[in-house]
Structure 1
Amino acid sequence: MTMTITTTPFADQKPGTSGLRKKVRVFQQTHYAENFVQSVFDVLADYVGQTLVVGGDGRFLNRDVIQTIIRMAAANGFGRVLVGLGGILSTPAASNVIRKQGAFGGLILSASHNPGGPDEDFGIKYNIGNGGPAPEKMTDAIYARSKVIDRYFTVQGPDVDLDRLGETQMAGMTVSVIDPVADYAKLMEQLFDFGAIRALIADGFSISFDAMHAVTGPYALEILERRLGAPAGTVVNGTPLPDFGGLNPDPNMVHAHDLFERMFGPDAPDFGAASDGDGDRNLILGRNIFVTPSDSLAALAANAHLAPGYAQGLKGIARSMPTSGAADRVAHALGLPLYETPTGWKFFGNLLDAGLVTICGEESAGTGSDHVREKDGLWAVLLWLNILAVRRESVEAIMAAHWARFGRNYYARHDYEGVDIVAAERLVSELRAALPRLPVRTTHGLTVAEADEFEYLDPVDGSRSQGQGLRLRFEGGARIVFRLSGTGTSGATLRIYLERYEGPEGVLDLETAAALADLAAVADAIAGIVRYTGRDGPTVIM
């Protein structure tokens, strides 16, 4: 029997770039998760009798909220819920299930690369029927509904056994607990030459994959060790844990420190990689080399034709605005269109659905293709392995050849995490007001040529997105971008992106920090970073 529960709104349920993310204790408030889920259902239409996909990255509170969603889905009239075994579904795997099963949409429970545990972070986002994140128009409607919601619907009944494959009934709705890995692994076999990768590994090619006790562990174990024959122990930290083993599941040089130590040590494997909390981000390392996400996107686009799934070539390439222009140079050389979008994978969805692009990427370690409508960490790792299996060169050699052909975009992202929100917003506000006065200003030998705030006109549906980052372009082609991130749950995260280009005939082997030192000084001089944040330097450099 359906129950109507009276509730009152919460004022803080505005989704960010990837759904609603808050501290666990915020989600544990009475009615909090229910209000948001019902707000999602209230803005949907024509879903009665349809299929809903549910799963997450296994973080603390994942199982509890899944049971809540199942009961609410039954009360709201869904005909079927597909949920991953143990409540597990990586974000790209969930996208694949939505698409393959023709589901109406899905609720993915994750706070991505944010830490997990009773005192850490939790999140919910809604993905639409194409498998991609809800567009801005829908997330705005969800937020508007959350501000006035006064009831939600649920049913009574025992918890669903999430640890047993099979079907059960919940108030007339079918609940199917599915294998979270099988369909995804099958899709990867269709895209990549597993035989060539197996041969590479059999010839002694060594891999270290750090799953960071997050969702990618079961996927990496099945694909890398079982299907591709990598030795046991190739996948480390492979068991998903509610608190990620106390680790921060963000694949960067700070939080994947042990992997960096292995890859830059005396007995380094040939290839190193990691993925994040929900499996949509990636870290790529060779022996003694870190491949930035921007460079990885460019190298993958330039070599994608070596994998069977992309042998016919690419339709186009898309990157987020803060991502370096390395992919632009590949697109130009290959005669492909290049699209520059705001940050957030949902902006790639229209381009992918319209058949305008094949490969997309963001500087925040997200790369993917038209096989799903999410970024996909393990996909990027497998495409790299396919390229390595065909070229039989090291990662370092592949990147050196890439820069020799296309030139090198020296690039870094400086994150100032947990900054006072008022101070961060004041920095951005004052810099925005100063933009018209910045052109022709010279600081530390660099002259501003253009200064603006990025806005995006979607070429498919004509929608406009404003306030997407402050950009400074300098004479000679260097640039700095300033953004406030929407992925954190404590304070503000100020992100500063630094980039300068060196042509194929230039110096291609500088240390990144040295190559960008003048830009870092200019960023502080113009925006007052130290003055506003009180920090001597960034929390994380990527």
Structure 2
Amino acid sequence: MTSQITPTTPIEGQMPGTSGLRKKTRVFMGPNYLENFIQATFDAIGGGDGGRYIVGGDGRFFNKQAIQTILKMAAANGATEVIVGQNGILSTPAVSHLIRLNAFDGGFILSASHNPGGIDEDFGVKFNASNGGPAPEKLTARIFDATKTISRYKIADFEDVDLSQIGETRQAGMVIRVVDPVDAYQALMAELFDFDAIRALFASGFTMRFDAMHAVTGPYAKAILEGTLGAAPGTVVNGIPLEDFGKGHPDPNPIWAKPLMDLMMSDNAPDLGAASDGDGDRNMIVGRGVYVTPSDSLAVLAANAHLAPPYRGGLAGIARSMPTSAASDRVAEKLGIAAYETPTGWKFFGNLLDAGKATLCGEESAGTGSNHVREKDGLWAVLLWLNILAVRKQSVAEILAEHWQTYGRDYYSRYDFEAVASDKANRLMDHLRDQLPDLAGKTLAGLTVTTADEFSYLDPVDGSISKNQGLRIGFEGGARAVFRLSGTGTEGATIRLYLEQYSGTDGDTTQDTQAALADVWAAAQQVSDMAQIIGRTTPDVIT
């Protein structure tokens, strides 16, 4: 077996976003595309000599082939050991845990998260650092710089590794361990939660539906919910990971998980509905007849975390992404702990978690997690909800109603305008940006502007500054509109508009969400002039 150095040239556009590099699958399958990016990553981290890494993905199309390439490149770059999930399967939180558990140097995750999969759909690669979290901005900048100057990549010449068999082999001087993808993660969950209480909950007749969306979480949910905790057979549906996610869109929200939503709003609804996404880091929570927004879910979990074993001593702090509603801030204030507002992207939580400043973190895009790993964790969030339900012995609707009575309700929704021509999307953002200095005091659709700025984040741990993280407009009466260009799509641009209206503790917490947001939605349309600039006022997705 030999290693070879293959000449190559830079390929434009290999800049990692908030969650790595995402492109169409056929782009990744093109000559040298994957190889260039992987070699640039090794170059950016100072080479792979003596390195130990985790490799796995969500099972989407091209996952297994990409893993074989990464294994050969890791060996050629001097890595000494790689752990791979059986059949190439590892959820994103499971990769984070394995990096931390084994004190490895990092990991390669093959996923485009909640994006569709298949040869004509999306693929992605991201590198997680030694703390188990996504590469920080300084590292992604070095990776991008390396993609612009790359002239060669290193790859070993050996037969493809049999990923179907658990066990250990050695290739080109590198140990390759194929492991059960669920074992270590399940052991961690058993340490975190009161499994006896959750078993008793299911034994009492509690019912649940977990939609794995034919994505990576299926084997984990099947093993833990049905196998260990005693949920009824069939609790987990769409539990077999498929390369194209069964031609579905593995994004756990009311639009893409509509069959689950329909069930939960019907007379036949179980007590709890939940779903997770492509790579297992996102979650959706639905009670019988009530949808829990991700912002509310974070706030409820924070307010009740003390009911689960690892959080009984209290929380150090709560962190949320800027577009996420302020619901969790109100919990932090009541608990007398710090509340942090970060840019979108889980990597921004890493420093807070590592420094012990935050315990729970969340994003409005259905990502919730804690300091047990350095990623958001869909199944962890579901298990924490189950632990809380087991202790409180109330329904999801009852818990949510009591929470709103205590803290008030942050009516909240996200409007996604997808595949907008990039020049039009940038023009809309520039139009808004130009108005920011003069907006305070103006009236838009009957609402008076109190604040208007472009979010910039000063990291309280390392002092780094992240600019241009979204445009914020606040209004009298507790309303807010936030505009962002998303970095998770693979074609055109996605404009994300986040709308929020706070009810107050003495306000009406029973309104229809869209009715409660009607005024701030009208103000957002007026200030952005979206009808004129992008020619659209109807979002593709409302969540």
TM-score by length of 1: 0.99
Query: Matches of residues 236-255 of structure 1 in structure 2 within 5 Å?
Result: 236-255=237-256
Moved more, 163-172 or 235-244: 163-172
Give the match's secondary structure for 1:119.
coil
Matched, 1:78 2:82: no
Contact 2:417 2:539 in 1 (8 A): yes
Contact 1:249 1:276 in 2 (8 A): yes
Give the match's secondary structure for 1:368.
strand
Instruction: Name the structure 1 match of 2:511.
Output: 510
Instruction: Name the structure 1 match of 2:486.
Output: 485
Instruction: Name the structure 2 match of 1:260.
Output: 261
Distance 1:46 1:60 in 2: 28
Matched, 1:45 2:82: no
Instruction: Name the structure 2 match of 1:351.
Output: 352
Contact 2:478 2:503 in 1 (8 A): no
Distance 1:189 1:323 in 2: 29
Instruction: Name the structure 1 match of 2:309.
Output: 308
Moved more, 235-244 or 439-448: 439-448
Give the match's secondary structure for 1:147.
helix
Report deviation, 1:47.
Answer: 4.2
Q: Residue by residue, what CA displacement relative to the aligned partner does 1:158-184 show, whole Å, maximum 9, x if unpaired?
A: 000000000111111111001110000
Contact 1:47 1:104 in 2 (8 A): no
Q: Which amino acid aligns with 2:376?
A: K
Q: Residue by residue, what CA displacement relative to the aligned partner does 1:264-318 show, whole Å, maximum 9, x if unpaired?
A: 0111000000000000000000000000000000000000000011111111000
Q: Residue by residue, what CA displacement relative to the aligned partner does 1:135-155 show, whole Å, maximum 9, x if unpaired?
A: 000001100110110100001
Q: Residue by residue, what CA displacement relative to the aligned partner does 1:11-41 show, whole Å, maximum 9, x if unpaired?
A: 1100010000000010011000000000000
Distance 1:165 1:222 in 2: 17
Give the match's secondary structure for 1:403.
helix
Give the match's secondary structure for 1:411.
strand
Instruction: Name the structure 1 match of 2:293.
Output: 292
Instruction: Name the structure 1 match of 2:437.
Output: 436
Give the match's secondary structure for 2:149.
coil
Query: Matches of residues 422-461 of structure 1 in structure 2 within 5 Å?
Result: 422-461=423-462
Give the match's secondary structure for 1:21.
strand
Matched, 1:194 2:195: yes
Give the match's secondary structure for 1:143.
helix
Distance 1:428 1:439 in 2: 18
Q: Residue by residue, what CA displacement relative to the aligned partner does 1:243-275 show, whole Å, maximum 9, x if unpaired?
A: 000000000111101000110011100000000
Q: Which amino acid aligns with 1:257?
A: K
Q: Residue by residue, what CA displacement relative to the aligned partner does 1:73-124 show, whole Å, maximum 9, x if unpaired?
A: 0000000010000000000000000000111000000000000001000000
Report deviation, 1:50.
Answer: 2.3
Distance 2:454 2:260 in 1: 37
Q: Residue by residue, what CA displacement relative to the aligned partner does 1:397-432 show, whole Å, maximum 9, x if unpaired?
A: 000000000111111111111111110011001110
Contact 1:352 1:370 in 2 (8 A): yes
Distance 1:282 1:238 in 2: 15
Instruction: Name the structure 2 match of 1:17.
Output: 18
Instruction: Name the structure 2 match of 1:58.
Output: 59
Instruction: Name the structure 2 match of 1:522.
Output: 523
TM-score by length of 2: 0.99
Contact 1:168 1:175 in 2 (8 A): yes
Report deviation, 1:476.
Answer: 2.2
Contact 2:301 2:385 in 1 (8 A): yes
Distance 1:233 1:531 in 2: 49
Contact 1:274 1:283 in 2 (8 A): yes
Give the match's secondary structure for 1:412.
strand
Distance 2:407 2:444 in 1: 29
Distance 2:71 2:333 in 1: 48
Distance 1:500 1:340 in 2: 18
Q: Which amino acid aligns with 1:457?
A: L
Report deviation, 1:434.
Answer: 1.2
Contact 2:369 2:381 in 1 (8 A): yes
Q: Residue by residue, what CA displacement relative to the aligned partner does 1:330-385 show, whole Å, maximum 9, x if unpaired?
A: 00000010010000000000000000010000000000000000000000000000
Instruction: Name the structure 1 match of 2:102.
Output: 101
Distance 2:232 2:102 in 1: 33
Moved more, 250-259 or 44-53: 44-53
Instruction: Name the structure 1 match of 2:68.
Output: 67
Instruction: Name the structure 2 match of 1:28.
Output: 29
Distance 1:112 1:127 in 2: 14
Report deviation, 1:491.
Answer: 1.1
Instruction: Name the structure 1 match of 2:88.
Output: 87
Contact 2:47 2:77 in 1 (8 A): no
Give runs of ≥4 in structure 1 deviating > 4 Å: none
Report deviation, 1:450.
Answer: 1.2
Distance 2:113 2:47 in 1: 30
Report deviation, 1:49.
Answer: 1.7
Distance 2:532 2:3 in 1: 56
Instruction: Name the structure 1 match of 2:400.
Output: 399
Q: Which amino acid aligns with 2:311?
A: Y
Q: Which amino acid aligns with 2:439?
A: L
Instruction: Name the structure 1 match of 2:8.
Output: 7
Contact 1:72 1:154 in 2 (8 A): yes
Report deviation, 1:535.
Answer: 2.3
Instruction: Name the structure 2 match of 1:146.
Output: 147
Q: Which amino acid aligns with 2:292?
A: V
Change (3 A) 1:13 1:465: same
Instruction: Name the structure 2 match of 1:383.
Output: 384
Give the match's secondary structure for 1:494.
strand
Moved more, 41-50 or 1-10: 41-50
Give the match's secondary structure for 1:508.
coil
Report deviation, 1:46.
Answer: 6.5
Change (3 A) 1:46 1:155: closer
Moved more, 439-448 or 347-356: 439-448
Query: Aligned Cα RMSD in Å?
Result: 0.7
Q: Which amino acid aligns with 1:133?
A: P
Contact 1:530 1:537 in 2 (8 A): no
Count of residue pairs the alignment pairs up: 542
Distance 1:438 1:516 in 2: 20
Distance 1:290 1:490 in 2: 30
Equivalent pairs: percent with the same residue? 62
